[in-house]
């Protein structure tokens, strides 16, 4: 894997299957997640959606329909990426990154989606209340790529 290639792909793929007021690059989302986790988990957070360079951003309802098959594919790609970049992933880092990812989902929905603030995700899971101190302004994909790198 090449970090430039990952950054490029994640920067031209939009979050929420493009369902935001303006495009939000996956690479920007990854940077935001990395900014709110403890520094020892930042590399894991930055690459937590690395699989999307190959799969694209699959909406949660579709993932739920695809079931275990898509999860297995994503996990295999992520493990290969993490290994290539020496990212140590354990239960504690997974919990921290997952919580930060959920927080950014809530912030993105509040700030960027037509529905605004929602309490449940597309699959009926509870979404945390977005932290009022965290906001997001989408970047042009080239700037998002630069920040990711």
pLDDT of residue 123: 56
Contact yes or no for 29/92 (Cβ under 8 A): no
Helix (H, G, I), strand (E, B) or coil at 74: helix
Contact yes or no for 11/25 (Cβ under 8 A): yes
The model carries a pTM of 0.91
Q: Which residues pair with 99 in a beta bridge?
A: none
Q: How far apart are CA 116 and CA 107, in angstroms?
A: 9
Contact yes or no for 37/97 (Cβ under 8 A): yes
Q: Which regions in the chain score pLDDT beneath 70?
A: 116-127
pLDDT digits (tens, 9 = 90+) for 95-126: 999 999 999 998 998 899 877 655 556 556 66
């Amino acid at each position: 894997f090449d970090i430039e290639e990952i950054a490029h792909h994640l920067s031209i793929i939009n979050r929420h299957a493009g369902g935001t007021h303006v495009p939000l690059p996956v690479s920007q989302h990854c940077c935001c997640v990395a900014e709110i986790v403890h520094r020892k988990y930042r590399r894991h957070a930055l690459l937590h959606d690395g699989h999307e360079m190959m799969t694209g951003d699959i909406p949660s309802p579709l993932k739920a329909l695809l079931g275990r098959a898509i999860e297995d594919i994503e996990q295999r790609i992520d493990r290969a990426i993490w290994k290539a970049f020496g990212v140590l992933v354990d239960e504690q880092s997974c919990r921290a990154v997952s919580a930060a990812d959920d927080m950014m989902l809530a912030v993105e929905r509040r700030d960027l989606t037509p529905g605004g603030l929602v309490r449940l995700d597309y699959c009926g899971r509870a979404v945390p209340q977005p932290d009022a101190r965290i906001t997001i302004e989408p970047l042009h994909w080239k700037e998002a790529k630069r920040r990711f790198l």
